[in-house]
Amino acid sequence: MTYGGYNYLDLKYKTKETDFKVLIYASGEFKLEKLAEAIASESSVGTWTKISTMNKKVFTEYKARVYKLIKVTDNSGFIFIAYPYEHFDAKNILQFQASVMGNLFGLKELYDLYIMDISFPIKYQKQFKGPKFGINGIRKYLGTTKSRRPHTGTIVKPKVGLTPKEFANVAYKAWSNGLDLVKDDENLVDQKFCRWKDRFDEVMKALNRAEKITGEKKLYATNITDSDIDRMKDRVDYVYENGGKMVMMDVYVMGMPALCSMVNYVHNLGLIIHAHRAGYSAHQRGNFGVNFQVYEKFYRMIGVDQLHIGTGVGKMEGSPMLIKRFHDVAVKHNGKEKLYLGSLDFKFAKHIKPIFPVTSGGVNPGMVDNLVALHGKDIIIQAGGGVHGHPKGTAAGARALRYAVDSVNKGIPLLKAAKKNKDLKLALDKFGYTEPSGIRKIFKFEKENKDLLNHLIDKDGMQTYRMITEHFSIG
């Protein structure tokens, strides 16, 4: 079977270490083989018809090759494509995305097209610096290298509307009562009611006071996101010149060119980058999309230091199994599975440091047991409403979250810890508590049924994949 007069199906092809490997789910009006050929053609050297300008060198050296198919029906299934290294620009993520994540989404014969994962060769990764600080660098700054406890943070709420002084007052209450990180929300930058510079100045005063009273280092992730790169650089300069240590960027809506430019600029000044992923679900959810783990790999190579990855238990989409995968992509160098739950094996170059993952979205102190059971201790537990919604306010909410984290870090379950801490007890009374046994059951079930889960996804396609990765729970 051919598409546009050329054959891209090569099921005997053995992938090379320098190949880019892409895993796609697709369905459409034609047989899976023809759909796969169309995708490989459109994303590499071909077009809809045979052309007089094609030559042997182009077709043999630069084309994409479909090296594996898993059929769900005659017209749907999983497609594995290998792209030669020479197909792509050096250190040009946009050219890569335009090829592999570009025109193919517009092919009218497709009913579904979902890029599930991409494996980037080590040779390609060596062009990127990766995180400057990552987990260990941030732990060193905050002084948690020995304890290895989860970090705690909050988002000042309401999202927008507070004046700089009101905002700083909330931040001070959070820091002085034990939290490590305070951040702007994703939609607060430089509105008239809370000008960026005024807010930064007031918050830094609060940060300095909190550091003195607690004897601990604190971090403020100020949102510098802007459509004007010069304005972002001006803000970074101001942070650097006035004692700040961290900036926040809405990395998905910024786009890759701005992000790449700003990461280099920020890191050259020795500042930490907190990456908010606002908007990513527009790509991850639906029949046409890109799984977040693909963007996560881009962000880790480019070099953000902290990245929101979801909770697995809060208000944001994603089952524990999917969020655990995102955590592994953030913190590990090698994947455990060759092919598992819609993911390819992954391997990061040795110099690419782990990102410090952030779990945020509907989080409260009653979830700490579950979050540690899911993510381990290399996690930033960040609660907005779960701190400021405490019955006794922000200060008590911050104390409750920090006490919960310190207790779980020592192996003390939350229900036992709450008997000795009124703030935590009040938090559990209001927000509730869920035993971590549910998370443990899920991962025990997963471990014992990996082959079955893979088989079900191969057999039923995206319907079963989404059930497992978005809604799967036990009990």
Catalytic residue list: 157, 276
Amino acid at 314: G
**Rounded to whole angstroms, how far apart are CA atoms 17 and 404?**
45
**Rounded to whole angstroms, how far apart are CA atoms 286 and 289?**
6
Gyration radius of the chain's alpha carbons: 24
Amino acid at 258: A
The alpha carbon of 333 is separated from its chain's Cα centroid by a whole number of angstroms, namely 15
Angle at 307 between CA 135 and CA 151, to 5 degrees: 50
**What's phi and psi for 349, nearest 5 deg?**
-60, 150
**Rounded to whole angstroms, how far apart are CA atoms 166 and 156?**
10
| DSSP secondary structure letter of residue 216 | S
Residue in the structure block whose two tokens are 């995180």? 131
Residue in the structure block whose two tokens are 């201790």? 377
User: To the nearest 10°, the Cα dihedral for 266, 267, 270, 271?
Assistant: 50
Q: How is 429-448 classified by DSSP, letter by letter?
A: HHH----THHHHHHHHHHHH
Tell me the sheet residues that pair with 25. 78, 114
Q: Tokens standing for 297?
A: 């790999």
CA nearest 378: which of 409, 403, 335, 407?
409
First and final C-alpha spacing in the chain: 47
Buried b (16+ CB within 10 A) or exposed e, 97-117: eebbbeebeebeebebbbbbb
Number of C-beta neighbours around residue 120 at 10 A: 20
CA nearest 194: which of 233, 229, 168, 226?
168
Q: Tokens standing for 379?
A: 């996690």
What are the C-alpha distances in Å from 113 to residues 4, 54, 94, 175, 442? 20, 27, 20, 45, 29
Is residue 60 a contact partner of residue 54, using CB atoms and an 8 Å limit? no
**Rounded to whole angstroms, how far apart are CA atoms 160 and 229?**
23
